[in-house]
Amino acid sequence: MASIRAHIWNGRPAPCEHDDLPIARIGTVQPHGVMMVVVPETGLVEHVSANVEEILGVPAPAVLGHAPTVAFRDAESLARIAEILRPGRRYFDNPTPLVANGRRFEAICHLRQGRLFLEIEPYVDAAHDYQTMVATALDAIARQTTVQGLYEAAARMMNFVTQYDRVKLYRFLAHGHGVVVGEFHAPDSKLPASFLGYHFAASDVPEAAKEILRTGKTRQKPTQRGSVPLLTLGAGGEAVPSGDAVDMTDCWLRGIHPCDNGYNRNLGVGSNIIFPVCIDNTVWGLFVVHNRDEKFLNYDSRVVIEQLSMMFASRLIELEAVEARIAERQRLSQAMVATVEGSQTMLAAMAAMRGEPVGSARLHAMHAVSRHVAALAPTYVSINGVEVATAGRAEDRFASELLRLADADGAAVIRSGPAGHVHLVGSTPDALTVRGIAAMFGNRLPPLDSSEWRVFATDALGDFAPIGPDLRALASGVLAAPIGSRGDMILWFRRERVVDATWAGRPPSTAELNSEMMFRPRADFAAHRAPLAGAARAWLDQEVLLAAQFASAIGDVWQRAQRGVATATPATELPGDPVVVDQRADADHPVSRTAGSLAVALPSAAASRWNSVA
């Protein structure tokens, strides 16, 4: 559902001083392995890590400008490296076993930006063989029937694969903050402290790091001892630091920023692994695996971890859909669309009888049905009578169903044209403010007609326009989908959710986020109580997809109805237009008329018109 996910905007993190750290071009390599960067056309080493002599026994100047084979003597290793360097090679059977200095290594190869990367790591045995790890993990994930059970099983399986002391499953929330939703400790764990339920500030994961995490790449940090420089040949033939010349986005051995190493040391962690859970190029969360002592995990184990994270993401989507009753809501959507279509047919038949005398019962039915159709609410108006409509319960039932469709607190149907109006359902801002929100699309909000799925969702409307606390309380979450191409629209709203959160250390203030403090390792992880506010409960991908499909289906119904009655009805009285203006009474829907604090403005209006008046 990549096209849907691309239009779900979670609250944006506050800018932080360290967001632009050159993490991908850090210019250093982790000390446990050797990196060589080769020019494929020549087969010569352009960059090598400074620890090559310590690990492989060959000084860096003797490697730079030569073939990687200069660091090996074993005949099988030389043959395998020659195969890696074969001209035109695009894919590699990782890992490749090698031997140097009497030690076993494995090389992991990939191509990026016209360069061949050889990452040479020491070989270690895994706790279990590859097939056992995959089969056990797959079985444990597949057997889960609840989201929380999945969290716990995935953390347990990560411990099974890694044999580390502690596994935390960390889910990202609005504004980049996160919370530990699952945790598992090894029976003999040397890190007994639990962070289950603790929140972590967004500043703990710089934006540059998230860009790399979106690739799905696992990061292993076997030691917190620091990194070594990547070297290249200088003008005089000497080995000099490469600086930021090499993009190491895909490298296992990419160096660690000193701040990151200090962060883990302050946590009492000697080795850690971070691997993302990605859903359609978005980082849903992280598995963070900690060990008290230094520890290295081999390539096969890391591949199992990546497979396990993909299994987890797939099963998570399924179980979220089950717990959110998406299938039931899909059936509800189909029933509502069918009812709208039936009522449109009824209106067309009434229009065809326009020349006949109109009795009071028929006139009442025309009014009731047209009123409901104008608000997408013709639910259960009988074609043979008006008893449901006259009882006033059709709208009540429709209101409940429209909200249940998106699991929303409120909804608004905006009708365009000369007789246009706003029909409000549930807990919403007032009609004037709703029109103001709709006018933001194409200006402060993305246009709704710019993709295959014409839909937009955010859990933090306040990130797009300055809004007052009353409006934020009612409509922090907005899900919008256009109906047809005439400017009609459905908006669903969710209230702001304020969480009394327990944080692992006090979250930094705005001033601290923009200070040099962000380049120093964090040392405070003690429990700190502070509210997490400014956003609604996040929209699920399946909910956004369902809303888009529902609005598209309603648009198709209206378009067919307009074509069907165009020859019998003046254009201004087509069923797609409201016959009566449906204004919600305060007595029926007790929503404060002072709740709106967003001024009405057209997309071309000056930005100052959006300033809060609350």
The pLDDT of residue 69 is 95
The pLDDT of residue 225 is 84
Least confident among 72-76, 357-361, 443-447, 495-499: 357-361
Mean pLDDT, rounded, for 510-528: 89
294: its two tokens: 């230094």
Q: Per residue in 147-163, pLDDT tens?
A: 999 999 999 999 999 99
Angle at 429 between CA 433 and CA 14, to 5 degrees: 80
Q: Does the CA dihedral 139-144-147-149 come out positive or negative?
A: negative
Cβ atoms of 19 and 468 closer than 8 Å: no
- With a cut of 70, say whether residue 454 has pLDDT above it: yes
444: its two tokens: 């402060």
User: First-to-last CA distance in the chain?
Assistant: 38
Number of C-beta neighbours around residue 215 at 10 A:
13
In this structure, the chain runs to a length of: 614
The pLDDT of residue 323 is 96
Cβ atoms of 223 and 294 closer than 8 Å: yes
- With a cut of 70, say whether residue 113 has pLDDT above it: yes
- With a cut of 90, say whether residue 527 has pLDDT above it: yes
Nearest one of 429, 415, 416 to 477, comparing CA atoms: 429
Mean pLDDT, rounded, for 134-159: 96
Write down the residue that tokens 């009492």 correspond to: 268
DSSP 164: -
Cβ atoms of 246 and 27 closer than 8 Å: yes
325: its two tokens: 């009753």
Rounded (10°) angle between helices 393-406 and 360-374: 20
C-alpha to C-alpha distances, 251 to 160, 218, 256, nearest whole angstrom: 25, 10, 12
User: What's the rounded Cα separation, in Å, for the pair 88 and 29?
Assistant: 27
For a pLDDT cut of 70, what percent of the chain falls above it?
A: 81
CB burial of residue 444 (10 Å; 0-12, 13-18, 19+): middle
Q: Per residue in 407-426, pLDDT tens?
A: 999 999 888 877 678 888 89
- Helix intervals (H) in 187-272: 207-213, 258-266
Cβ atoms of 491 and 510 closer than 8 Å: no
167 φ, ψ to 5°?
-120, 125
- The strand pairing partners of 492, in sequence order, are 411, 479
- With a cut of 50, say whether residue 606 has pLDDT above it: no
- With a cut of 50, say whether residue 469 has pLDDT above it: yes
Q: Per residue in 62-82, pLDDT tens?
A: 999 999 999 999 999 999 999
The pLDDT of residue 450 is 62
Nearest one of 83, 112, 106, 94 to 34, comparing CA atoms: 106
The pLDDT of residue 582 is 32
DSSP 39: E
Cβ atoms of 257 and 205 closer than 8 Å: no
Q: Which of 208 and 609 is assigned the larger pLDDT?
A: 208
Max Cα–Cα distance, the chain, nearest Å: 103
Instruction: Tell how far CA 283 is from the center of its chain.
Output: 5
DSSP string, 326-390: HHHHHHHHHHHHHHHHHHHHHHHHHHHTTTS---HHHHHHHHHHHHHHHTT--TT--TT--HHHH
Q: What is the pTM of this model?
A: 0.83
Mean pLDDT, rounded, for 501-528: 91
Mean pLDDT, rounded, for 350-367: 51
Q: Per residue in 247-288, pLDDT tens?
A: 999 999 999 988 888 899 999 999 999 999 998 888 999 999
- With a cut of 90, say whether residue 311 has pLDDT above it: yes
Q: Report which residue type is found at 573.
A: E
User: What's the rounded Cα separation, in Å, for the pair 47 and 301?
Assistant: 28
Instruction: Tell how far CA 121 is from the center of its chain.
Output: 33
User: What's the rounded Cα separation, in Å, for the pair 92 and 84?
Assistant: 7
For a pLDDT cut of 90, what percent of the chain falls above it?
A: 58
Q: Per residue in 9-49, pLDDT tens?
A: 888 888 888 888 888 999 999 999 999 999 999 999 999 99
- With a cut of 70, say whether residue 393 has pLDDT above it: no
Q: Report which residue type is found at 583.
A: Q
Q: In this structure, are strands 456-458 and 8-9 parallel, antiparallel, or unpaired?
A: parallel
Q: Report which residue type is found at 484.
A: G
Instruction: Decide: helix, strand or coil at residue 12.
Output: coil
Q: Average pLDDT over the chain, rounded to whole?
A: 83
Cβ atoms of 505 and 572 closer than 8 Å: no
Mean pLDDT, rounded, for 368-386: 41
DSSP 452: S
Q: Per residue in 547-586, pLDDT tens?
A: 999 999 888 887 776 666 554 444 333 333 332 223 333 3
11: its two tokens: 């609250």
Structural domains of the chain, with CATH: 4-24+125-230+254-323 (3.30.450.40), 28-122 (3.30.450.20), 326-498+533-612 (3.30.450.270)
For residue 365, the number of C-alpha atoms closer than 13 Å in the C-beta half-sphere is: 21
The pLDDT of residue 484 is 82
Angle at 182 between CA 176 and CA 184, to 5 degrees: 130
